[in-house]
């Protein structure tokens, strides 16, 4: 189940720059994708995704090590 969630998050981050219609908030001159706050949020989401993936791999490795050594 965690891998499914990580895969969905990756797909969202991968496809978000290719939205069909460029979005421009009202009273703003630049497109949403060109605004610095949008880029900060996407960067934080990327960091969270990579962190979650690394944590999942570490947890699975720890459990595998315990199980393969005869632990609980």
Of 2-6, 15-19, 38-42, which range is least confident?
A: 15-19
Residue 1 has pLDDT above 80, yes or no: no
The per-residue pLDDT for range 34-54, each reduced to its tens digit, is: 788 888 988 999 999 999 999
Residue 3: band (very low, low, confident or very high) from pLDDT cuts 50, 70, 90:
confident
Cβ–Cβ under 8 Å, residues 38 and 44: no
DSSP 31-62: -GGGSHHHHHHHHHHHHHHHHHHHHHHHHHHH
What pTM was computed for the model?
0.73
DSSP 1: -
Longest CA pairwise span in the chain (Å): 64
């Amino acid at each position: 189940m965690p891998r499914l969630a990580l895969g969905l998050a990756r797909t969202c981050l991968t496809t978000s720059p290719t939205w069909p219609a460029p979005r421009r908030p009202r009273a703003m001159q630049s497109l949403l994708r060109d605004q610095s706050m949008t880029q900060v949020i996407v960067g934080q989401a990327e960091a969270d995704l990579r962190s979650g993936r690394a944590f999942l791999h570490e947890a699975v490795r720890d459990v595998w090590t315990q199980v393969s050594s005869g632990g609980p």
